[in-house]
Chains A and B, each alone.
Chain A
Amino acid sequence: MKLRIFLSCFVGVAALCAYVMAASAGGFDYAGAVAERAAYQPVSANADTVSQGAEKFITDLVDEGVGFLGDATISADKQKAAFRKLLNNNFDMDMIARFSLGRHWRSASQAQRDEYMKLFKVMIVDVYSARFSDYEGQEIEVTGSRKEGERDILVHSLLSQKSGPDVQVDWRVRQSSGRYKVIDVIVEGVSMAVTQRSDFSSVVQRGGGNMEALLAHLRTN
């Protein structure tokens, strides 16, 4: 019985706290709070032409991908070929490959670098086309963007699932020689490039610091 009383008190105090906080913050205005959050979402949707361009780039990229991934009449091989083209055209593969190797890039020989680059590009297409093969028509909506560092733009998007909450997908976009390229995809705070780098780095480390260990794994893929 005592605990019931305690719980009622807890809820009561909690509600009171919330009321006081809301009141002190300028009146209890539920609709206002919602509107404020809504306004807060498109961080810099119209900030400048660069971010606008980046947002459009991602919107187009997503549309193109959804176009053939959602098309059940295209064979798996053709989907993979289309996907490879999409990745090579819109992702800075050299940059992603170098980043994923981390500090081991510098100590690698030229021959190792060349082989790694080749294997990495094959692996990425395999991994990502497998990842998107069970695509079920989820919608991705670009919600805004912001500048990231000196040269990059982080384009925010929300992927709505059939069940469960929306997934936040951020695309790190870099403009080089007049073209936008994706250099990282961050899902709910988890960067694909960073995860890849930790993975590779561990493989090299456990192989006695030798890059051959990583190459051997990539060759068997």
Chain B
Amino acid sequence: MFNIRAVAMSNKMWDFKLLTGLCAAVLLVSACASDSAGPVAAGDVEISDPFEGTNRAVFSFNNAVDDAVIHPIVKGYNAAVPDRARTSVDNVFKNLRSPVNFANEVLQGDFDGAGNVVVRAVVNTLLGVGGLFDLAGYEGLEYQSEDFGQTLATWGVGHGPYLVVPIIGPSSTRDYIGYAVDSFADPLRWYLFNIDEEGIYYGKVGAEYLNLRASLVRVLEDLENSSIDYYAATRSAYYQRREALVNDRNVNSAPSINYDDY
């Protein structure tokens, strides 16, 4: 008993140090993001990609891994598992993300959104059999993915340099830090680590990743086939998509692109 608590304690201390470090890093990034060289325009969003050489190398590596490992797995999954079952798997992961979504809605000051997260979690967990069925979504309370990268964006923090992370893929300095913060702060992780079930947590992370990749495989193949410079097209699509998520896909804040300059 005492040992478990000691482990829990040291975990928490470690988390705290990491979080403090990450916060410092965010401040640093947002401070020096403005003078990084060579912004590229994607829509009206400026993209800073000072590590383009490294990013392109990692991008190629990721594509090789996708072709050799990830895509065969997720294509097999998509082909073998019926649509409804895959939707249910997706629903369960979305439901498990509720605490993270809730915390970020609150941090963004979006209390309507936070309320929606709670109603969704309660309805889908109790009536939707542990999240297998998205009854709330069916009734019009749609799922919104919130993460700490979006929260930082609503606080006015810019993307910082574009990053392609091994295995994980396109990100930005801000969004990658956000991803780390969400992962560390996830109550589900705290809980599983404290009952010494790290294995379950890592299994969940892996399964969640494959679930995401299964939903993206066709989109990415499309993008690759329709582009000459797949790297540049992905980078642009990533920034646009993140912009849409930050604005909560609000139809009244769709991208303002000037179509008449050319």
CB < 8 Å neighbour of A186 from B114, B218, B226, B254: B254
Asked if A111 CB lies within 8 Å of chain B CBs, one says no
CB pair B140–A190 under 8 Å, yes or no, is no
- A218–B228 CA distance with the chains assembled, in angstroms: 8
Q: How many residues of B contact A (CB 8 A)?
A: 62
CB pair B262–A18 under 8 Å, yes or no, is no
- A105–B226 CA distance with the chains assembled, in angstroms: 21
CB < 8 Å neighbour of B232 from A25, A156, A168, A202: A202
Known: A21-B114, A30-B119, A164-B90. A3 touches B191 (CB 8 A): yes
Closest to A43 in B: B251
- A17–B223 CA distance with the chains assembled, in angstroms: 42
Known: A189-B245, A190-B237, A206-B229. A162 touches B83 (CB 8 A): yes
CB pair B236–A198 under 8 Å, yes or no, is yes
Asked if A90 CB lies within 8 Å of chain B CBs, one says no
CB pair A15–B262 under 8 Å, yes or no, is no
CB pair A7–B191 under 8 Å, yes or no, is yes
- A134–B244 CA distance with the chains assembled, in angstroms: 26
Instruction: List chain A residues, Cβ under 8 A from B142.
Output: 37, 165
CB pair B102–A202 under 8 Å, yes or no, is no
Task: Give the secondary structure class of B's interface.
Answer: helix
Asked if A95 CB lies within 8 Å of chain B CBs, one says yes
Instruction: List chain A residues, Cβ under 8 A from B106.
Output: 17
- A209–B115 CA distance with the chains assembled, in angstroms: 51
Asked if B240 CB lies within 8 Å of chain A CBs, one says yes
Asked if B204 CB lies within 8 Å of chain A CBs, one says no
CB pair A189–B254 under 8 Å, yes or no, is yes
CB pair A191–B240 under 8 Å, yes or no, is yes
CB pair B226–A188 under 8 Å, yes or no, is no
- A191–B254 CA distance with the chains assembled, in angstroms: 10
Chain B min CB distance to A167 (Å): 10
Per the 8 Å Cβ criterion, residues 82-115 of B in contact with A are 83-84, 86-87, 90, 99, 102, 106, 111-112, 114-115
Asked if B17 CB lies within 8 Å of chain A CBs, one says no
Asked if B233 CB lies within 8 Å of chain A CBs, one says yes
Instruction: List chain B residues, Cβ under 8 A from A217.
Output: 228
CB pair B225–A130 under 8 Å, yes or no, is yes
CB pair A199–B232 under 8 Å, yes or no, is yes
CB pair B191–A102 under 8 Å, yes or no, is no
Chain A min CB distance to B26 (Å): 24
- A98–B231 CA distance with the chains assembled, in angstroms: 22
CB < 8 Å neighbour of A163 from B83, B251, B252: B83
Contacting chain B: which of A49-57, A60-68, A73-81, A146-154? A146-154
Per the 8 Å Cβ criterion, residues 205-227 of B in contact with A are 215, 218, 222-223, 225-227
CB pair B86–A199 under 8 Å, yes or no, is no
Per the 8 Å Cβ criterion, residues 116-166 of A in contact with B are 127, 130-131, 134, 144, 146, 148-149, 152, 154, 156, 162-165
User: 12 interchain pairs (CB within 8 A)?
Assistant: A3-B8, A14-B102, A99-B262, A162-B83, A172-B259, A189-B240, A189-B254, A190-B237, A198-B232, A199-B236, A202-B231, A203-B229
Known: A34-B141, A43-B251, A201-B40. 16 other contacts (CB 8 A): A2-B194, A17-B106, A17-B114, A25-B112, A95-B259, A127-B226, A130-B225, A163-B83, A189-B240, A190-B241, A194-B42, A194-B255, A198-B233, A199-B236, A203-B229, A206-B229
